[in-house]
Amino acid sequence: MSIGIGIVGCGMISNFHAKAIADAQGAHLVGCTARRGDAAKEFAEKYNCAAFDSLDDMLASSDVQAVSICTPSGAHLDPAVAAAKAGKHVIVEKPLEITTQRCDQIIQACDDAGVRLAVTFQSRFHQSAKLMKQAVDSGRFGTITLGDAYVKWYRSQEYYDSGAWRGTWALDGGGALMNQAIHSVDLLLWLMGPVKQISAMTATMTHERIEVEDVAVATLKFANGALGVIEATTTAFPGSLKRIEISGSNGTAILEEEDIKMWEFADSSDADEKLKAEMAGKTKTGGGAADPAAIGHHGHTQLFEEAVAAIQEGRPSALDGHQGRRSVEVIQAIYESAKTGQVVHL
């Protein structure tokens, strides 16, 4: 059975969700709703779906079995809880919400209603990321010593001025970390495991009329004993592809967007050489480094297919609410350390 999905919020990211749903096996787009009715009507015409006058109308439709929430980050809670109470499965654009407390409310609502919850961290579905995960899980790095994430992106002042919610604590939930780098934070935690200790500094260096950081640096200690760094900015012209670097006693691997830039292990084989050749030119877009629209939707497609499979099989999604919460917890801890000047223990 194909799962009918309704989209809540018709901003930029909703276009990627619509395209992904169209390509995803087992899913189809039923309709959309937005705070501005004209935006919903334009979106509906573009993607040949229904424009619902309100969220309540969408949730009342028996054609909608799941909702995809594409509202601003700090406005995920209310529609997610309403959808769960209406018996609809919930797919939420990252971050799940802007605080762990608000994340927990969504998780609890979905658990109480017995519906599935998935968070769109589509980078986990890239082949290169999955290869990195396999190398970690199989012990190829030996004793892992370092795990680092670098997101040196660029956003113009016009980007922040384009929406009143951008750059605010209430709706953006933070700056370069919560909005842009959260995908890399999620990947780093997926690969390295939990963080136990954080020390951080943040600053607002070049952008005006924003409340949040455009530069952040954090040092981490992971539960496995390894150390690490997260660097995030939206003021590094012209913007570079995001990088994940993992090093250990028996190997080092570097992931740059979808490309594997380094793959060196003490137990190297011909298969490693083949992998390096195949994974050297996978990135086909700008990766969002300078233009937030310069991304593909293929990762989103796989995310929707996984979410649909979880619904059909009656199991938690691989990217359920607990997975989505982890990156928010770490970013909140980074903000707390930067604010207080103290080491934060998780």
- Check which CATH number belongs to the domain holding 269 and give it: 3.30.360.10
Coil/strand/helix, residue 256: strand
Environment class of residue 142 by beta-carbon count within 10 Å: exposed (0-12), middle (13-18) or buried (19+)? middle
- Range(s) of the domain holding residue 233: 124-289+328-345
Angle of helix 321-340 versus helix 100-113 axis, rounded to 10? 160
Res 291 pLDDT > 90: no
Q: Are 130 and 115 within one domain?
A: no
* pLDDT for the residue 286: 81
pLDDT, one tens digit per residue, over 308-330 is 999 999 999 999 999 999 999 99
Which one, of 138, 88, 150, lies nearest residue 117 by Cα? 88
Q: Average pLDDT, whole number, for the chain?
A: 96
Q: Are 250 and 262 within one domain?
A: yes
Report the DSSP pairing between strands 66-69 and 259-265.
unpaired
Q: Are 143 and 202 within one domain?
A: yes
Q: Are 131 and 273 within one domain?
A: yes
Environment class of residue 273 by beta-carbon count within 10 Å: exposed (0-12), middle (13-18) or buried (19+)? exposed
* pLDDT for the residue 293: 78
Q: How many residues does the chain have?
A: 346
Compute the 3-state secondary structure of the chain and give helix, strand, coil in percent, each to the nearest 5: 40, 25, 35
Which one, of 124, 247, 128, lies nearest residue 189 by Cα? 124
The dihedral sign for the CA sequence 286, 289, 295, 300: positive
Q: Are 135 and 97 within one domain?
A: no
Per-residue confidence at 256, pLDDT binned at 50, 70, 90? very high
Run of H or E including 263: strand 259-265
- Check which CATH number belongs to the domain holding 303 and give it: 3.40.50.720
Q: Are 77 and 208 within one domain?
A: no
* pLDDT for the residue 102: 98
Q: Are 99 and 44 within one domain?
A: yes
Q: Are 7 and 41 within one domain?
A: yes
Q: Are 147 and 104 within one domain?
A: no
* Contact assessment for residue 126 and residue 103, using Cβ atoms and an 8 Å cutoff: no
Phi, psi of 260 (to 5 degrees): -95, 115
pTM, full prediction: 0.96
Q: What angle do CA 127, 131, 137 make, to 5 degrees?
A: 140
Q: Are 161 and 97 within one domain?
A: no
* Contact assessment for residue 307 and residue 23, using Cβ atoms and an 8 Å cutoff: no
Question: Between these two residues, 290 and 72, which has the higher pLDDT value?
Answer: 72
Res 105 pLDDT > 90: yes
pLDDT, one tens digit per residue, over 11-47 is 999 999 999 999 999 999 999 999 988 999 999 999 9
* pLDDT for the residue 14: 97
Q: Are 150 and 57 within one domain?
A: no
DSSP per-residue letters across 225-236: S-EEEEEEESBS
Q: Are 25 and 51 within one domain?
A: yes
DSSP per-residue letters across 98-128: SSHHHHHHHHHHHHHHT--EEEE-GGGGSHH
Q: How many domains does the chain have?
A: 2
